[in-house]
Amino acid sequence: MATVRQGKIELLESAELVEGARVLVTVLPDDENYFWLEASQASLDTVWNNAEDDVYAQLLQT
């Protein structure tokens, strides 16, 4: 992740990049955050609300 400050892209975490390294940048407009949170939640619900995993809860009870 990165932010833009004074027209320059600044990484939020340090990274070892050689001078002239090519990078791929995806701009995420602020108004799209809600869309991506909702899209992620649907995927998480599919994984966590899985009746097949109930067998593991039963194993823990024994």
Strand partners for 4: 9
Whole-model pTM over 0.85: no
Tell the residue number behind the tokens 């602020």, with chain if given. Answer: 30
Q: What is the pLDDT of residues 23-59, one digit of tens each?
A: 988 887 777 777 777 778 878 888 787 777 777 777 8
The answer, yes or no, to whether residue 14 has pLDDT greater than 80, is yes
Q: How far apart are CA 49 and CA 42, in angstroms?
A: 10
Per-residue pLDDT, 62: 66
Neighbouring residues of 48: CB distance < 8 A, sequence distance ≥ 6? none
pLDDT band at 5 (very low <50, low <70, confident <90, very high): very high
